[in-house]
Structure 1
């Protein structure tokens, strides 16, 4: 079929018009999804204005969140005197706002990318297009603001603490790596450690208090240690000045040795108990030998830490002066910690029989979640409510096909459990 020559210009015009319309539709779609608006096409949502003393990196189309959920965008930022006026556009499902609303600038990344957090009030409705009352907008708290609020002494102490931490960990990459690996192993197999910590909560509290007392004693006795060193030096000089007396002492030493020989009978009587002690030492010689073999390497590591430790000790008085204040501030938290342990201990005791089941579940879940096929990850979200989640007082099928609460250790072969499940009750809070 041939197109008449007279229709060719019309066909070309239609094709060009269709192509232009398609390009315009695609461009409009991309423009609107990027936050742009098309007059007479895009709807204007619920908008309000808020005045902020500092926008802190807020830009056009920054997020507006409520309870951590994105509920809108920033449509305009303009200067208003010494402040900034920000126009928000919120989704219809959270509009309108009410009197008492607060708008706070928050950071959501380490590079201080910001967003607005909205907390709605409980007063009268605020109509669209209105400006929120003065004082509604609150700026964010920047790290630089916190540092500049400290006095010069506090900033110097903080700088020295950070520098000391850097010196203490310098050239210790392998040790830090081993520590992190150990923490990972503890996280994977730490159920027993958590049980032990829960059982030893009172002992840990006692150790913490005693450690505070030891640190205070060290801080108090630092001057006496220096004085002891000076006294030792003076003693050495005194002995050098009394060489003749030392010579006389050595001349009298043979008579002392004779007296010691006369006392050998008493030592012979003591030999039997010492023999038992020697036998015990002989049995422990294997472990002692292994410890002595590791001692040179340990000594070398300690010798390498001495320069950094010396610098830490020089800087420690300023830190130790703050320990009593820290202890006083932490004392209320210890009471809260006791209450939390009273709730946590019964829960851990209840979960203890299911330790292997929990480890097996998460191990299999991690392997399952990592699997994928051409359609994406194999793992899918599934509702926890189903035919087998309803517990009825009657033994009716299919509601009893599986038991949703298997007995401990039955994760590989779930069976019907007919026993009585324990009730978790709070432990008495220690006083």
Structure 2
């Protein structure tokens, strides 16, 4: 819980106008023209052009529309700063003066904010002194489908920048007070859950709704499976083990008077330990098969794992160093710990998890990750003010909500400064921990 006082102005960090203004322009361009996962062509081009303008050597089209900009300043650690390109299939309902102009698509998870802050940090690093290292600025596609990080690595991201880096850093918007940062509550502990996403197809035998006895109805089997799946967490996972199972999609048929011949389920699994995820996955397959067989289906269901992500547990030493650096920059009252959340990210693939999966050879990569507050002072106070009798305080719109609208005035400059300071900190930390090289302030 963060309870530090906020000014109405949000105590925005000072960023020079020649950095902040272009970053804000990029944010507005991204917010008004969002692009879905895998279709981020315009977004990637805007970001790549900014990096090239600031002197980075830019490679485009990595793993789809991925972008990497490299700025070398002598021998030393290599630090990757990463943000995401893609938006969500959500219709915006924020009331902002600059809403999405793309029907049914919006930046409901803050990726426009992340990318603009990263562009601002990249410009700051290009125009300020630091020596003995390399900055790699990565714009990743398809994070929302949890496929973009693997695609970039499979397409040789690290080979293109000269090998695995020493550290990879990222930040993410969260419904915390704007101007605040939150790191893992326990260094080395998880920040976000690992996940599996499964598609299941149940097969039936279609026919007329008026003669159901001549059909095998996959809708009934799917509905039964949905209800039975709710028992996986309640009865197959230990009570003290956080886990979430969500059936986010059930699709079957087109007409009320036709029994379809197939039904589809989209199932999301989240937990903080890989063995728990494996157990949940096995239970899902067992239950869906059993319901299919119980319905008399002529053939068993089909399963496809459409994505997976590892548990996000940043490096303990780097997390402690980053939190200290952010506390020194912003004041300790604006930097806190944060309990683990059951959202997911594909960011861990850039670190040791990717090496374990054979995506790259960087087992020694250190990952740093923190949350960037986005809620303006007035909205935060209203949501946490004592409610009158029979009243409830207004809820803060979470990520993925149609009403998600960061307080850009405060969050953007904070994000720029946070990422810039984190890069410098990661350089120092890498010098201290790799090869015994004496540290110095870059």
TM-score of the superposed pair, with normalisation by structure 2: 0.20
If you compute each CA radius of gyration, which structure gives the higher value, 1 or 2? Answer: 1
Q: Relative contact order: is structure 1 or structure 2 higher (C-alpha 8 Å, sep ≥ 6)?
A: 2
The structure whose residues are more often helix, as a share, is: 1
The structure whose residues are more often strand, as a share, is: 2
